[in-house]
Homo-oligomer: A and B are copies of this chain.
C-alpha cells in the first residue's frame, strides 16, 4: 500500500467527506490501475466495515424517492445517527433532479455534516455499476455512517443485484387505483421487505390507503425474505413528513427479527460469498469475451442458434473449444 492510500484511509476514517467521495470515484472507475488502488483501499478499510444498516430504496421515477430519502434521512439524523445515500442508476434523480436541484428541499439533508450524498454514479454497464455499489457501501461504513441508503430507479437488473447487498429492501409506490400496475418490473414486489405508498397527503390520502390495502393482501400470498417476516405495507407523506417515524420503527423491528438465530450476520456472509461468485463470473465472462478467437465467431454462432441451425448446447461447446484452443 502506498503512502497516499494510507493517507486516504486515514482521512476517510476521520470522516472527511471529500476523501470519501474520492474513494467512491476510484471504486467506480473502470481503469485497471484505479481498480487495483480501490481494492487496496477496501482491504485497508475492511476491519472498520459492517456496522451500518444497509437499506435499498427502489421505485419508479416520480414516486418521490428523493423527497422520501430527504425526510427519512433527516429523521435518522435527529436520532443522532449519520446517513449516507448512494445512487445506483446513472439516470438517478438524486443528481440534477430534486435533491441537488431543488435548494429548498436539499437544505435539509445534503448540507448537514451528518449526511453524505453521492449522486449519479459514473455511467457504465448495467449491473456493473450496481456491483461496485457494494464496495461504496463498505467505504461509507468505514467512514462511520450508521445508515447507508442505496437508491435505484427500477430500470434494468439493478434491483436484484442491490437486494443482495443490503439488509432491507424498500419498494415505494404511488397512490392510485389499486388495480393498476405501477410500472414495477417483474419480480420486484417479491424483493420488498417493506412497501411504502408515498404521497399520502392532501386529496391522495384515501387513494394511498386503498393501494396499501391491496398490496397488503397481495404480499401475504407471496414468499417474504425470511419466515419470521410478513412484508408490511405503509403509507407516508414525505413532504408533510408523516409516517416517517413509523418507517424507522419498522426498520428496527426488521433488524430485530433478523437478529434471532443470528440471521442478520448469516445473510451478510452469504451476500459476501455470492458477491465473490458474481465478481468471478463477470471476470471470467470478460476474459472469455476479450478473446479474439471468440469475438471472431460468436456472432455467427448466435445467428445459427437464432435461426435454429444449431442447438444452444452445441453452440456453447464449440465456443468454449474455440476459446480453449486460443488460450
Report which residue of A42, A178, A287, A316 has the largest number of chain B beta carbons within 10 angstroms of its beta carbon.
Answer: A316
Report which residue of A50, A185, A283, A309 has the largest number of chain B beta carbons within 10 angstroms of its beta carbon.
Answer: A283
Q: A-side binding surface: helix, strand, loop or mixed?
A: helix
Contact indicator B311/A46 (Cβ below 8 Å): yes
Contact indicator A276/B39 (Cβ below 8 Å): no
A134: Cβ under 8 A from any B Cβ: yes
Contact indicator B222/A186 (Cβ below 8 Å): yes
A1: Cβ under 8 A from any B Cβ: no
Q: How many copies does the complex hold?
A: 2
Contact indicator B312/A272 (Cβ below 8 Å): yes
Given A138-B311, A223-B181, A312-B134: A284 touches B190 (CB 8 Å cut-off): no
Per-residue CB contact flags for chain A residues 233-265 toward chain B (1 = under 8 Å, else 0) read 000000000000000000000000000000000
- How many angstroms between the C-alpha atoms of A179 and B230 in the bound complex? 11
Which of the four size classes fits the interface of chain A?
Answer: 35 or more
Contact indicator A39/B311 (Cβ below 8 Å): yes
Contact indicator B276/A222 (Cβ below 8 Å): no
Contact indicator A312/B217 (Cβ below 8 Å): no
- How many angstroms between the C-alpha atoms of A277 and B289 in the bound complex? 12
- How many angstroms between the C-alpha atoms of A185 and B281 in the bound complex? 25
Contact of A312 among B276, B302, B320, B327 (CB under 8 A): B276
A221: Cβ under 8 A from any B Cβ: yes
Per-residue CB contact flags for chain A residues 300-327 toward chain B (1 = under 8 Å, else 0) read 0110011011111111110110001001
- How many angstroms between the C-alpha atoms of A312 and B147 in the bound complex? 21
Contact of A269 among B189, B275, B306 (CB under 8 A): B306
Question: Which residues of B lie under 8 Å from residue A79 when comparing CB positions?
Answer: none
Contact indicator A311/B281 (Cβ below 8 Å): no
Known: A277-B316, A279-B315; 13 extra A-B contacts, CB below 8 A, are A214-B217, A215-B221, A217-B217, A218-B221, A272-B308, A276-B301, A276-B315, A278-B312, A279-B317, A281-B285, A282-B316, A284-B288, A284-B320
A and B contact pairs by CB, cutoff 8 A, 12 listed: A46-B310, A47-B308, A134-B312, A181-B220, A181-B221, A184-B223, A187-B190, A218-B218, A273-B306, A280-B320, A284-B285, A284-B320
